[in-house]
């Protein structure tokens, strides 16, 4: 037998023996979110192990204390920051560590704490992290007690210096916390880096760089085994490498594998492989780590725009802030999944995570659901936008923050662009040149497989110093769509994306009738007054935008027409807390979303669906409850058809077809109650029909849950849509009655919302007024394995169906 065969036989025999070491025992990732004590205010004495926090509130993470507070225009966060309280809060948790773990390395990992966190273990200060969006970890090993003696971890969160953001941030440990227990010889934190240097039909090459850490007192010889599995858990590639590591040192090992006939990842079929990397010391498995892997190639071209796996693909993107509406900043998997599902159904294929490092959950979901991601590091550099923002931490922290951001996220196949900043002030002066070069350099040292971009506003080349640095791979431009046609000339040979666009304004279900082609800019220019509505609403016809922006149609028409614009990221996919332009308080959340804060689509959602998705679409609006003889604008979004005919109570009001680059058709209709009906046809053949009925008096409440069952894990959420309807089941479009919820069994109410931007009632109550016929209640499993029973009643004496959600283990 050849030497090499003998060798591999021995290795496989060793691997077989090592089955005795259970994989889950060598790297233990413990959920560390449960049973924390929490108290608002300053409690420096709580770092002492003798301190008694038993009278503090007990809660589970992730947690955002701002969202629990009451709105006030006097909060230092200001309405721009969501008009909710911030301040300081302390968390404390006591826990035991088994004697069996004496020889282990034990680290605590925080995904995100807003902001200025400091952590102590058993009275010992572990460190500070000002950036509220960055993930970080501390090694607890030297300070732990084992056995029955308690360990105390204390976290101070200081969000009192305000304002520190242009949008709502939340306050607290708002992302998950984990305890990671490994052997002293282990794969380092963020210690794997996976790329796919070559992808052909026949073969996908996988390159893995692994950083190994030897915290033991002796030199070690190890074997590294990496395996690739397909979605059916079939092994499709493996490699074995040997390595020596000195005591107390870390080394890098490189491996290359080949997967035959790789199935590609794309936005419609986001196929994921799994890479398992195992570390053996002799026959003993000492560590293992799993990553997802997607084979995809992409390219930005100065003339042809973006392509994915060689297929020209326009980026149909939206910008999203991190808050989850009524849940505040709490990074809930289910909440993020719902948000992304809404976007997917609209036809969105890309997300710009504006303007900060995201939750892990968001990127995991983008990998799984098939979104292209622009990951963004900063909204400010050295020059501030608001008084107490990140510029205060820039000098000390930007390098580490940027490195950590790339290291954590570079294995996600969904991530295809690194943005080093949004509308950065330094684009306007020569200091921008050196900083851009420095930041691009930091990113490139860690990842060269993705272009580095920045979202710029200044599109005169000589005046933009970030561009002048020559360091960007991809130019992002925000707004000013009318200038797009000048870009090939001004930015010769450059790759370009509309990194931010639109900033249109709408309130779901509210309609003002302007002239057919009238477009309003609210406010019309910088600091200009405007004639808005007394109830802080903005019409949901796509006719209003901020003065720096455009309506959805204006902007999309411009992007659609130009191949060299790789695509667009609409500001924003969903309403978010804070930045309530154009109104002052009590407005406290944004009007920019295509979907409102509660997750209910505004009408323009269907314009995008008609343009961006494969679905057949016919959407007509508004509702059909007006004053007799009033002239009402009726709009239709449609696709897959060449005309739409409108009927009122059976009488045709005429056929319309989109002209030129129009994206909707409209009629002026003299109102009479009854049934408004639209039929879309292609070559005379009916494609779709839609009816809108005049609603009668509110007679009933309809509850519809997005899930039939959830787990009793205290994480799972069910979103229940509440519709106020008449006796025939037609939505009552102006219903605004108070709805009260009654819940029992294995769930509790964790949020209520109605999507109205100036609603000041609490997101945490068990009642809320319907707004334009609808509201939402969010239920979370409370740990009991009992079915959840939910019912609603209203102040006007009507009640709902009772819904039951199964709760399983």
Q: Which residues bind ligand GAL (CB under 6 A)?
A: 166, 422-423, 478, 500, 503, 546, 549, 571, 579
DSSP state of 602: P
Element (H, E) at 337: helix 333-346
DSSP state of 114: B
Nearer to ligand GAL, 266 or 458 (CB): 458
**Minimum distance from CB of 503 to ligand GAL (Å)?**
4
**Minimum distance from CB of 321 to ligand GAL (Å)?**
8
Active site residue 150: no
What are 106's two structure tokens?
A: 């034990």
Active site residue 223: no
In the complex, residue closest to ligand GAL by CB = 503
**Minimum distance from CB of 379 to ligand GAL (Å)?**
7
Nearer to ligand GAL, 119 or 315 (CB): 315
What are 414's two structure tokens?
A: 């969904």
500, 553, 579, 611: which one is catalytic? Answer: 500
Task: Please tell me the distance from the alpha carbon of residue 84 to that of residue 799, in angstroms, as a whole number.
Answer: 32
Task: Please tell me the distance from the alpha carbon of residue 546 to that of residue 560, in angstroms, as a whole number.
Answer: 21
Nearer to ligand GAL, 419 or 422 (CB): 422
**Minimum distance from CB of 683 to ligand GAL (Å)?**
42
Q: Provide the edge-to-edge strand list for the sheet that holds 767-769.
A: 709-711, 803-808, 788-794, 738-744, 767-769
In Å, what is the CA distance from 168 to each residue of 78, 328, 342, 355?
A: 9, 8, 22, 12
Helix/strand number for the chain, H first, E second: 10, 46
Residue pointed to by tokens 């951001």: 405
Task: Write the secondary structure of 213-276 as one string of H (helix), E (strand) and C (coil).
Answer: EECCCCCEEEEEEEEEECCCCCEEEEEEEEEEECCCEEEEEEEEEEEECCCEECCCCECCEEEE
What are 412's two structure tokens?
A: 């996600």
- Residue 582: cis peptide before it, omega within 30 degrees of 0: yes
In Å, what is the CA distance from 207 to each residue of 204, 211, 239, 284, 406?
A: 10, 13, 11, 25, 17
What's the Rg (C-alpha) of the chain?
28
Task: Please tell me the distance from the alpha carbon of residue 358 to that of residue 345, in angstroms, as a whole number.
Answer: 22
Helices assigned H by DSSP within 491-636: 552-561, 605-612
Task: Please tell me the distance from the alpha carbon of residue 588 to that of residue 604, in angstroms, as a whole number.
Answer: 22
Nearer to ligand GAL, 119 or 544 (CB): 544
**Minimum distance from CB of 505 to ligand GAL (Å)?**
9
Task: Write the secondary structure of 378-430 as one string of H (helix), E (strand) and C (coil).
Answer: CCCCCCCCCCCCHHHCHHHHHHHHHHHHHHHHCCCCCEEEEEEEECCHHHHCC
Q: Provide the edge-to-edge strand list for the sheet that holds 57-59.
A: 57-59, 36-40, 87-95, 151-159, 117-121, 124-129
Burial of 364 (0-12, 13-18, 19+ CB in 10 A): middle
Nearer to ligand GAL, 325 or 549 (CB): 549
Residue pointed to by tokens 């058809």: 641
423, 458, 553, 767: which one is catalytic? Answer: 423
Nearer to ligand GAL, 272 or 550 (CB): 550
Nearer to ligand GAL, 502 or 540 (CB): 502
**Minimum distance from CB of 377 to ligand GAL (Å)?**
14
Task: Please tell me the distance from the alpha carbon of residue 123 to that of residue 143, in angstroms, as a whole number.
Answer: 9
Nearer to ligand GAL, 350 or 620 (CB): 350
Neighbours of 301 (CB within 10 A): 13
Q: End-to-end distance of the chain based on CA atoms, in angstroms?
A: 53
**Minimum distance from CB of 457 to ligand GAL (Å)?**
7
Q: Provide the annotated active-site residues.
A: 423, 500
């Amino acid at each position: 037998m050849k030497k090499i065969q003998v060798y591999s036989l021995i290795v496989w025999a060793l691997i077989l023996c090592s089955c005795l070491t259970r994989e889950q025992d060598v790297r233990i990732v413990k959920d560390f979110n449960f049973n924390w004590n929490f108290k608002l205010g300053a409690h420096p004495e709580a770092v002492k192990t003798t301190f008694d926090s038993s009278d503090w509130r007990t809660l589970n993470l992730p947690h955002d204390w701002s969202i629990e507070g009451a709105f006030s225009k006097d909060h230092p966060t200001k309405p721009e920051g969501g008009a909710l309280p911030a301040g300081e809060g302390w968390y404390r948790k006591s826990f035991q560590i088994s004697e069996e773990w004496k020889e282990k390395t034990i680290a605590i990992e925080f995904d995100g704490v807003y902001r200025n966190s400091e952590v102590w273990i058993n009275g010992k200060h572990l460190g500070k992290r000002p950036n509220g969006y960055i993930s970080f970890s501390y090694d607890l090993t030297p300070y732990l007690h084992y056995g029955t003696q308690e360990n105390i971890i204390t976290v101070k969160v200081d969000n009192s210096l305000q304002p520190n953001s242009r949008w709502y941030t939340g306050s607290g440990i708002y992302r998950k916390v984990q305890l990671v227990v490994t052997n002293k010889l282990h794969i380092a934190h963020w210690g794997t880096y996976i790329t796919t240097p070559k992808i052909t039909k026949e073969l996908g090459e996988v390159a893995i760089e692994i950083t190994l850490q030897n915290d033991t007192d002796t030199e070690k010889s190890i074997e590294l085994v990496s395996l690739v599995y397909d979605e059916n858990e079939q092994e499709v590639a493996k490699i074995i490498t040997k390595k020596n590591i000195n005591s107390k040192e870390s080394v890098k090992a490189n491996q290359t594998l080949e997967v035959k006939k790789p199935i590609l990842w794309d936005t419609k079929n986001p196929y994921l492989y799994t890479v398992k990397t195992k570390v053996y010391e002799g026959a003993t498995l000492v560590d293992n780590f799993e990553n997802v892997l997607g084979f995809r190639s992409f390219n930005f071209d100065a003339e042809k725009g973006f392509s994915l796996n060689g297929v020209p693909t326009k980026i149909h993107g939206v910008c999203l802030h991190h808050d989850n509406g009524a849940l505040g900043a709490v990074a809930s998997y289910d909440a993020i999944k719902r948000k992304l599902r809404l976007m997917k159904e609209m036809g969105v294929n890309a997300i710009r995570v504006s303007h900060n490092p995201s939750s892990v959950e968001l990127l995991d979901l983008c990998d799984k659901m098939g979104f292209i991601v622009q990951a963004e590091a900063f909204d400010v550099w050295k020059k501030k936008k608001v008084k107490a923002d990140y510029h205060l931490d820039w000098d000390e922290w930007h390098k580490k923050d940027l490195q950590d951001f790339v290291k954590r996220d570079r294995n996600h196949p969904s991530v295809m662009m690194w943005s080093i900043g949004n509308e950065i002030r330094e684009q306007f002066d020569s200091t921008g040149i050196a900083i851009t070069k420095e930041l691009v350099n930091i990113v490139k040292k860690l990842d060269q497989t993705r272009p580095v971009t920045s979202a710029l506003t200044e599109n005169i080349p000589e005046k933009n110093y970030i561009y002048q640095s020559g360091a960007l791979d991809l130019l992002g431009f925000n707004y000013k769509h009318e200038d797009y046609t000048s870009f090939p000339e001004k930015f010769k040979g450059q790759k370009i994306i509309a990194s931010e666009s639109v900033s249109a304004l709408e309130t779901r279900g509210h309609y003002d009738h302007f002239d057919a082609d009238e477009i309003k800019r609210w406010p019309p220019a910088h600091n200009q007054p405007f004639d808005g509505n007394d109830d802080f609403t903005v019409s949901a016809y796509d006719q209003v935008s901020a003065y720096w922006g455009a309506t959805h149609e204006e902007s999309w028409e411009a992007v659609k027409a130009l191949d060299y614009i790789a695509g667009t990221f609409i500001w924003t996919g969903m309403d978010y807390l804070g930045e309530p332009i154009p109104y002052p308080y009590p407005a406290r959340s944004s009007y920019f979303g295509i979907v409102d804060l509660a997750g209910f689509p505004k009408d323009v959602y269907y314009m995008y669906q008609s343009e961006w998705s494969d679905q057949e679409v016919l959407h007509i609006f508004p509702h059909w409850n007006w004053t007799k003889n009033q002239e009402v604008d009726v709009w239709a979004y449609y696709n897959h058809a060449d005309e739409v005919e409108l009927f009122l109570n059976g009488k045709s009001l005429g056929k319309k077809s989109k002209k030129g680059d129009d994206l909707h058709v409209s009629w002026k209709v003299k109102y009479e109650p009854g049934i408004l009906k639209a039929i879309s046809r292609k070559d005379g053949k009916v494609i779709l029909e839609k009816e809108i009925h005049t609603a009668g008096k509110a007679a009933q409440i309809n509850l519809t849950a997005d899930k039939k069952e959830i787990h009793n894990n205290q994480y799972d959420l069910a979103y229940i849509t509440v519709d106020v309807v008449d006796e025939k089941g037609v939505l009552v479009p102006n219903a605004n009655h108070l709805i009260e919820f009654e819940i029992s069994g294995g769930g509790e109410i964790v949020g209520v919302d109605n999507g109205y931007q100036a609603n000041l009632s609490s997101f945490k109550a068990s009642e809320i007024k319907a707004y334009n016929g609808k509201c939402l209640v969010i239920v979370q499993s409370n740990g009991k394995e009992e079915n959840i029973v939910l019912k609603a009643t209203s102040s006007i004496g009507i009640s709902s169906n009772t819904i039951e959600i199964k709760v399983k283990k």
